[in-house]
Amino acid sequence: MRDSRYVFTSESVTSGHPDKLCDRMSDAIVGRHLAAEPTARVAAECAVSTGIVFVSVKLRSRAHVDIATLVRDVIRRTRYSASELDARTCTVVTSIHELPDGRRPPVQTSLEDSDLDAIVAEDQATVFGFACTHTAALAPLPIWLAHKIARGLSAARERELPYLSPDGKTQVAVELRRERPARIFGVTVLAPPSPDAHPPIERLRRDVHDHVIRTAFLDEELKPDANTRITINPEGTTNGGPAMHAGLTGRKAAVDTYGEFARHSGSALSGKDIGRIDRIGVYAARNVVAARLAEKCEVQLCYSIGMPRPVSVHVETFGTGAIEDGEIEQRIERAFDLRVGAIVKDLRLRELARAERGELFEKLAAYGHVGRQDLPLPWERTDRIDALRD
């Protein structure tokens, strides 16, 4: 185990950040199609800039979805001011490519065990999953705290601080000693005001400190101390939103996963249908840590085109394993069915597509796809503990 002291920093963004706005629009499109037809194949990507949204969708679906209206609805609910992004007057450009039925084999409505070997990887994929004992959610503490403050920023805008823009960014630096969180080294918050509001910068900083940062740490074991560097809008009251910086689907992969504390595949998690199986990695890693086989665990699965099973399984516990990493690899392969079809079946991804009227995907787009305790996500379960211990 590493016997040194170091500082690790992770960042998060609010649900109104332009990149996250694009993720939410993409996932709203995917969720609406899958709610109507769970076997649909959908991939959606969005880009947003001053007064304009570009939407690219590839699909094979019988569902009819008014994509432009849906995009405007997501923007409207984000509540940007008219000068930042007007849901009513902005231009929405759509490019929709319908995949022919013959391009891919149809996905079965129900999956029996005999069907699973027929479902294969449609592309090369390297899947990473990670978990650790920093938090009850088995997520690294820096990204956990960054998400928490970002959520608090959005919540404060709905209540005490209505003058803030939906766009915001947070950053938390945690000092680790012997790989364990020891103190909060620094906190940075960028909270642009709406262009229509002109709060004095000192008032904004005081409000964000009192209503967001202080509140976020009330129930945390580690809290800022006298030496913690807390920075709020260091450059003053710079505005945010798409008028200031463009957004793009999938650009916040680190925010969606582990805040760079662990590796991720680099591919976008938002805007993809249930064929995207990246989350099986975190499902396995979480169960390894929950079973106390390691304090930190990274699981790597590699899939090749046309193969139903991963071609390799690799585990790294960074010297924290209670048993050898090779033994954990073997236990994972016994405890989990890692075939592509089995992942869809065991995680009930088709049922998930219809959860919460198809709105679950959009909710998942902001504040992380892993380490979520506020959503009913099957890959967050720790139900393979006994199988791994055996």
**Residue 293 predicted with pLDDT over 90:** yes
Mean model confidence pLDDT for the chain: 91
Rounded CA separation 390/382 (Å): 15
What lies within 8 Å, CB to CB, of 71 at 6+ separation is 25, 28, 29, 46, 53, 55, 92
Contacts of residue 175, defined as CB under 8 A and 6 or more positions apart, other chains included, come to: 5, 6, 7, 181, 182, 183, 184, 185
For 356, how many CA atoms within 13 A lie in the half-sphere containing its CB? 12
Nearest Cα to Cα of residue 212 among 229, 227, 194, 190: 190
Q: Examine the pLDDT at 234 and tell me if it is beyond 90.
A: yes
Question: Rounded mean pLDDT of 44-69?
Answer: 94
Residues 6+ apart with CB under 8 A from 177: 5
pLDDT score, position 114? 66
Residue 104 has a pLDDT of 46
Separation CA 113–CA 335 (nearest Å): 16
How would residue 360 be classed by pLDDT, with cut points 50, 70 and 90? confident
The tens digit of pLDDT for each residue in 245-288 reads: 999 999 999 999 999 999 988 788 899 887 677 778 899 999 99
pLDDT for position 226: 96
Q: Average pLDDT for residues 15-32, to the nearest whole number?
A: 96
Closest CA to 364 of 263, 212, 262, 255: 255
- Does residue 342 sit in helix, strand or coil? helix
pLDDT band at 116 (very low <50, low <70, confident <90, very high): confident
Residue 103 has pLDDT above 50, yes or no: no
pLDDT of 172 > 60? The answer is yes
- pLDDT for the residue 239: 83
The pLDDT score that the predictor gives to residue 58 is 94
Does the pLDDT at position 108 exceed 50?
Answer: no
pLDDT value for 76: 96
> pLDDT value at position 49?
95
pLDDT grade for 102, boundaries at 50, 70 and 90: very low
Between 119 and 102, name the one with better pLDDT: 119
Q: Is pLDDT above 60 for 1?
A: no
pTM assigned to the model? 0.92
The pLDDT value recorded for residue 120 is 78
- Flag whether pLDDT at 107 surpasses 60: no
188 compared with 235, residue with greater pLDDT: 188
* Range with lowest mean pLDDT among 63-72, 73-82, 260-269, 344-353: 344-353
Q: What percent of the chain has pLDDT over 90?
A: 71
* Residue 350 pLDDT grade (very low, low, confident, very high; cuts 50, 70, 90): confident
The structural domains of the chain, ordered by start, are 5-12+141-241 (3.30.300.10), 19-98 (3.30.300.10), 113-134+250-389 (3.30.300.10)
- In terms of Cβ atoms closer than 10 Å to its own Cβ (0-12, 13-18, 19+), residue 311 is exposed
pLDDT tens digits, residue range 125-166? 899 999 999 999 999 999 999 999 999 999 999 999 999 999
Question: pLDDT at position 366, please?
Answer: 95
pLDDT score at 253: 92
pLDDT tens readout for residues 322-342:
999 999 999 999 999 999 888
Percent of the chain with pLDDT over 70: 95
Mean pLDDT of the region 65-71: 96
Vertex 130, ends 247 and 25: CA angle to 5°?
25
pLDDT at 181: 97
Tell me the C-alpha distance between 148 and 171, whole Å.
11
Least confident of 36-40, 62-66, 114-118: 114-118
Q: Determine the pLDDT at residue 70.
A: 96
Sheet of strand 180-190: strand arrangement: 5-13, 169-177, 180-190, 224-232
Q: Binning pLDDT at 50, 70 and 90, where does residue 86 land?
A: very high
Average pLDDT over residues 203-231: 96
